[in-house]
Amino acid sequence: MHNTRRSIRRSPAAQSGIRERGFTFLEALVVLTIVGMTLAVALPAFHRNRVRSHTMHELEKITSLVNVARFQALNRANPCALEFVINSNHIRLFEEAVNSDLQLNAGEEVFRTTTLNELFEYSRPDGPTAIDLAGGNSNVLQWQADGSLTPTLTFSVTPAVYIANRSGDHFRIRFNSVTGVAKIDKWESVTNKWQEDRRDWVWSTEI
């Protein structure tokens, strides 16, 4: 009677003398620590970049309306006005074809209406007036048929609109008193000055 042996298949690791095992608790802890440190650095930076992108989108939405207002005035050969309504956060662009009085009258067309995002508000860090457009109506800018701002308006200061986000960053959209072309500045709380060059902007770290 012959004894038969069952052949036991061994893994390559076992055949080479290497002991197979899983992660130890210490190794898992090290991996989790590295992942946690990476997220601690990456997530705030990602969120800050997201806030910056969202803020610039909101500001550029307003400056694009300025370009549309000027284009419509030139294209239609009629005055066009951009109205900032502070109580409702609405921004309204309309043609002043009936009566050029800086007000929307019956028979005048509204080209576009947009609303300032709820994460933003009209706010000014260096003065009481967040919408400071001067002239006959402090919350309306008007472009003439030649693309220039209304010549009858007398600007004692540069016309501007002031906006802040929830992180505490303040911005000024100022308008050239002749052409109405818009530029964006940021308030620097350290120097208490408006900064035009975006490369020098310092953004709030609070989220």
In a domain, 207, yes or no: no
Residue 7 included in any domain? no
59 inside domain: yes
Q: Are 169 and 186 in contact (CB under 8 A)?
A: yes
Tell me the C-alpha to C-alpha distance, in Å, between residue 30 and each of 33, 34, 39, 175, 204.
5, 6, 14, 56, 33
User: How far apart are alpha carbons 93 and 193 in whole angstroms?
Assistant: 31
**Interatomic CA distance for residues 123 and 162, integer angstroms:** 6
Residue pLDDT tens, the chain, 207 long:
555 555 555 555 455 555 555 668 777 788 888 877 876 666 667 767 777 888 888 898 889 888 888 888 889 888 888 888 878 888 999 988 777 777 787 888 888 888 888 889 999 998 888 888 765 457 888 888 888 887 555 555 678 899 999 888 999 999 887 777 889 999 998 899 999 988 888 887 654
Domain membership flag for residue 142 = yes
Phi, psi angle pair for 73, to nearest 5°: -65, -45
104 neighbors 94 (Cβ within 8 angstroms)? yes
**What are the beta bridge partners of residue 115?**
90
> How many C-alpha atoms does 118 have within 13 Å on its Cβ side?
0
Does a structural domain hold residue 28? yes
Alpha carbons 160 and 178: distance in angstroms, whole number: 13
Helix (H) or strand (E) holding 80, with range, is: strand 80-85
Q: Is 172 among the domain residues?
A: yes
* Residue 4, amino acid: T
pLDDT of residue 3: 53
Query: Is residue 116 included in any domain, yes or no?
Result: yes
Beta bridge partners of 193: 188
Q: Residue 68: give its domain's CATH number.
A: 3.55.40.10
pLDDT reported for residue 136: 47
Q: What's residue 142's pLDDT?
A: 86
pTM to 2 decimals?
Answer: 0.73
- Could you give the number of structural domains in the chain? 1
- Domain range enclosing 174: 23-198
